[in-house]
Structure formats: C-alpha cells, structure tokens
Amino acid sequence: MSDDEAGNALPSAEHHEGGFRPMSELMNQVRSVDTSRGGPHYGDFVEQVRTLMDRARLAVPPDDLVQEAAGILEKLNDRLGTHVHEEWDAPGWTRFDLPSRGNVTLPPYRVDRAKPDGVEARITYRTFHLGGNAAAHGGYVSLGFDDLMGLAGSLYSGSVTRTASLTVDYRAITPLNKELQLRAWGERQEGRKVWIKATLHDGDLLCAEAHGLFIVLKPGQP
C-alpha cells in the first residue's frame, strides 16, 4: 500500500486509536516494508503453520504418529513460549510483505488496491477452512470480509474502526484452495458510523456479499 493508496487515512501522530497501533505507525511500516519483526524467514514459518493446519484438518493418523506429533508440538510450543511478546511487538499484523500481514489466524490474502474509495484483494480459503463438501466454512468467509471491510472502513473514514455489526449473505459455494476476488468499499458515513459493503467472487460467480456497520474509535478508545 503506497502513500497515494493510503489517501487521507493518516491522522496526526498525536492521535492514538485505542488498543490499535496508530495508523501513522502502520503506514510507516507499509512504506518501509519492515521485516525485522520475525526476521526474513518468518513467512516460511507462517506457511508451515498453515500447512500443519491443513494437514491436521483431514489427517487420520495412526496412534503412534499422533503421539509422535503431539510430542514434537509440545516441545516446539515450549520453545515458542519463551519468545511470546506483547501484542504490539508481535509481527503477525505488521508484516505487510506477507499474505494477511503475516497473521496466521486469517485466511491468506493479498491486497491489490487500497484507497479511500475501496479495497481489492485476492483471498484463498485453504483446506483448514473446510466447512463441508469441499466448500469453505461460512464463518471463515465472514472472517475474511470482516478484516478487509475493516481496512476499507479505515481508509474511507481516515481513522481506525471497529466492527459494530456484520451481515453476510451466502449466494453460492465458496471453493477451497482457489484464489478469489474480494472487494470492499464505503457507502456512507454519519458521524462515527461508517457503512461498508463487500463482495466475494469466483471469477464472475458471486459467492457471498456482506454489509456492515463500523464505528470510528475515539482517541484512546479500546
């Protein structure tokens, strides 16, 4: 996301959006593509975690493998536990060089365009996001909408927003392991209330659409 794409989403340095990083700090990270948090191989780590989640979703391992895997994961979790930091220091939200900013809890996506008039992204729902019959779970579809609509709301309003309500209408099966197109844009703003709409397409097929109400945070509001 460039300065031009950020548009008017850069409030003064004094403004602090509650529990979120100030948007000015976030945009500085976008400009510099800082890879220091997590290091240059953090993307490989995130991808391996995603692959583990995919495998675990459908695996039917024998008991000896279950015990072996559990033992390996226990040791790894113990090691990772010694490197857990406070939320603001963690890389999984600020690695703009990685899908979904390095956040492993989100369906991976890449933002192609982000301006005050809308956000366009490519998103993939993986095997882990399976809901049944090779279709993405509706909750994960909603999660993708929520995150990118939040970005659209922030760009549209020029401030960080929180979700107040989100409604998703599922129009067709959302396929797995296929790059889909998600678009989100602001419709109108009244005071701190911002109304956002979004669509999810598989080519020309509309998979789902959403509309939501987002609230601009007051300075210091969590």
Where exactly are the structural domains of the chain?
35-99, 106-216
Percent of the chain at pLDDT exceeding 70: 84
Q: Average of pLDDT values for 23-52?
A: 79
Q: Average of pLDDT values for 4-33?
A: 50
- Burial per residue of 17-28, b for 16 or more beta-carbon CB atoms within 10 angstroms, e otherwise: beebbbbbebbe
The mean of the pLDDT values for the chain is 88
Q: Which two tokens stand for residue 211?
A: 């509309």
Percent of the chain at pLDDT exceeding 90: 74
Q: Average of pLDDT values for 14-38?
A: 60
Going by CATH, does the domain composed of 106-216 fall within 3.10.129.10?
yes
Q: Average of pLDDT values for 15-43?
A: 66
Model pLDDT, residue 222: 66
How do beta strands 135-136 and 161-170 pair? Answer: unpaired
Model pLDDT, residue 60: 98
Q: Average of pLDDT values for 9-19?
A: 46
Model pLDDT, residue 88: 77
Q: Which residues contact 62 (CB under 8 A, 6 or more apart)?
A: none
For the segment 61-104, what is each residue's pLDDT rounded down to a tens digit? Answer: 999 999 999 999 999 999 999 999 888 788 988 899 999 999 99
Model pLDDT, residue 202: 98
Model pLDDT, residue 36: 82
pTM: 0.86
Asked whether residue 14 carries a pLDDT value surpassing 50, the answer given is no
- Cβ burial of 160 (10 Å; 0-12, 13-18, 19+) is buried
